[in-house]
Amino acid sequence: MAKRIEAVGVTAYYGEFKAIEDITITIEPRSVTALIGPSGCGKSTFLRAVNRMHEVLPGARVEGRLSLDGQDIYERGVDVTAVRRSIGMVFQRPNPFPTMSIYDNVVAGLKLNGVRKKAVLDDACERALTSANLWDEVRNRLSKPGAGLSGGQQQRLCIARTIAVEPQVVLMDEPCSALDPISTGAIEDLIFELKNEFTIIIVTHNMQQAARVSDRTAFFSISQTGDPGRLIEHDVTSKIFTNPREKRTEDYITGRFG
């Protein structure tokens, strides 16, 4: 069941450095939201805050409220492991476990959660690979190393691994930046299909990609080097790209930024 994400006044620090400040945004279930903006404006920091990966770094902390369907995920007593299980993450570069087979890559999270029954694992593997549009390509070589796949296939394998544990939210941090145009198209098609089941947030530097895959777009920016990143504007993607409210948004989208 996809969930609504609500951020209210979210501020994140790396030690004393304030990376993002006062981010307030609501992301609806079964939708794709693209985060755009210049390098260093806090897009990836916000993404990591959403699944509580930010605090893994020494001295890093998050203030404000971040909730899933009304449940504050930073509230005292919240099971961090359960939060990360319900909010999956796909990284910039494909990162299949190099020593594992395709099959074991997909079911790794389930095994970590204590699932041992082969029939359950088999079904989850096929379902996840099918959802990731990869089943037909690998069904006859599930025992082969995941690292032996092409770059685009590896990224879809990583997406299959993420959705096999049935999260409610899928976060993607520039998932196509290391891929060729054909593989990028396959991932974009997949994102469009996955939003029927999941709430998706994607960080991208590719304006065309944001316009193609997202329902809504959030533009982050900084005033000057060293300032915290802020959410400048968040709206329906077509409006952001054709009639933004803020001049800074228009300048960035049209390449006049800075």
pLDDT in tens, 206-240: 999 999 999 999 999 998 877 899 999 999 999 99
pLDDT in tens, 33-64: 999 999 999 999 999 999 999 999 999 999 99
Question: Looking at the domain assignment, is residue 133 inside a domain?
Answer: no
Distance CA 187, CA 133 (A): 9
Name the 3-class secondary structure at 165: coil
- 140 occurs within a structural domain: no
**Residue 28's CATH number:** 3.40.50.300
Q: What is the pLDDT of residue 20?
A: 97
Give φ, ψ of 4 to 5 degrees: -80, 135
Please tell me the least confidently modeled range out of 81-85, 125-129, 211-215. Answer: 81-85
Residue 229, domain member (yes or no): yes
In the predicted model, is pLDDT for residue 257 greater than 90? no
Lowest-confidence region among 68-77, 174-183, 208-217 = 174-183
The reply to whether 131 falls in a domain is no
258: in domain:
no
The rounded distance, in Å, linking the Cα atoms of 215 and 188 is 13
pLDDT at 6: 97
Identify the pLDDT of residue 92.
87
Whether the per-residue pLDDT at 196 is higher than 70: the answer is yes
Burial 211-228 (b: 16+ CB within 10 A, else e): bbbbbbbbbbbbeeeeeb
Examine residue 39 and state whether it is found in any structural domain, yes or no: yes
Number of domains in the chain: 1
Domain span at 13: 5-93+168-253
Asked if the structure places residue 36 within a domain, the reply is yes
pTM: 0.92
Mean residue pLDDT of the chain comes to 94
Q: Tell me the average pLDDT across 129-156.
A: 95
With respect to residue 209, please indicate whether it lies within any of the assigned structural domains: yes
